[in-house]
Amino acid sequence: MAAVRPVQPTSGDPETVLRRRVRMGGEVSAIRLRFLGCGDAFGSGGRMHTCFHVSAPKGQFLIDCGASALIAMRRFGVEPNAIDAILVTHLHGDHFGGIPFVILDAQFVSKRTRPLLIAGPLGMKRAVTGAMEMMFPGSSRVQQRFAIDIVELVPERSQAFKAGVVIAYEVEHPAGEVRLALRTECDGKVITYSGDTGWTPSLVPAAREADLFIAEAYFFNKRLKDHLDFETLQMHLGELSPRRWIVTHMSADMLEHLPALGCDYAEDGKVVML
């Protein structure tokens, strides 16, 4: 198997690149991912909380929905009513805290009528209800105009949703009973997100030969048991063998090293075509 090499950031706006490929008669990808937010819990670098928007031939979905997700959706022109599913890695506010805002917007502003799937770790149902009641008392008891289906993912068991299939893998992070990495497959393309985690062998099947592996790199070389650092991630890339990888969820320490990384990294608004 060929060695994995860092992918340099693509020059030019991805939308322009895609149009150029169409004019040249090249193969056009069907999957589009935009980083609506890629920051840590503390907003390091002024980045919004974790939220990735994926457009696929059969539907649209979010991977994580941090507290600032609805603001980011408005900023980058994502229509909330077009989203079919929200997939959640773990129950920390910077990864799921935007869900109450999305639900309230759907009820009172966007006037949603189509169903919404919310899928995440064990405890997801209780967490959504609790977050809604804490932030907007009584809101969890309002009868919505649309159906909400909350599914608790079972690690290593596939779960179908409108745009494709997701498989969850348990990882290491102090966030409730179960914390997940998510491997999604849509139209033959695989996107894996590590979630927040220290190095754990379960990342190998989760990320193996993914078309895009989005990996936390919280610190550059400071080792923690519940967060990945960049040097540890690099050490294990040969086992993971992703076709492309992008680092995200970076602390101020990691952001200082960006100019010298030599690999692709997330930024709010960044678009990736697969």
Residue pLDDT, tens place only, 231-252: 999 999 999 999 999 999 999 9
pLDDT in tens, 173-226: 988 778 999 999 999 999 999 999 999 999 999 999 999 999 999 999 988 888
* Both tokens assigned to 103: 């639900």
What are the residue boundaries of the structural domains of the chain, listed by start? 31-273
Q: How many angstroms separate the CA atoms of 196 and 26, rounded?
A: 36
* 177 DSSP 8-state letter: S
* C-alpha pair distances (Å), 30 with each of 16, 49, 165: 15, 26, 16
pLDDT in tens, 247-269: 999 999 999 999 899 999 999 99
Percent of the chain at pLDDT > 70 equals 89
pLDDT value for 224: 83
Residue in 222, 218, 214 with CA at minimum distance from that of residue 254 = 218
Q: How many angstroms separate the CA atoms of 14 and 25, rounded?
A: 17
Residue 138, number of CB atoms within 10 A of its CB? 8
- Could you tell me how far CA 201 lies from the centroid of its own chain? 20
Residue in 51, 99, 59 with CA at minimum distance from that of residue 75 = 51
* Over residues 7-35, mean pLDDT: 53
Quickly state the pLDDT bin for 30 (edges 50, 70, 90). confident
- β 264-265/245-248 pair status: parallel
Q: Which of 23-32, 99-108, 242-251 has the lowest mean pLDDT?
A: 23-32
Q: How many angstroms separate the CA atoms of 37 and 270, rounded?
A: 9
Quickly state the pLDDT bin for 109 (edges 50, 70, 90). very high
- CATH no., domain 31-273: 3.60.15.10
pTM (two decimals): 0.89
Selected residue with higher pLDDT from 48 and 12: 48
* Over residues 139-158, mean pLDDT: 94
For 50, residues 6+ apart whose C-beta sits below 8 A from its C-beta are 37, 38, 39, 64, 66, 94, 95, 248, 249
Q: How many angstroms separate the CA atoms of 151 and 102, rounded?
A: 17
Q: Is the pLDDT of residue 272 over 50?
A: yes
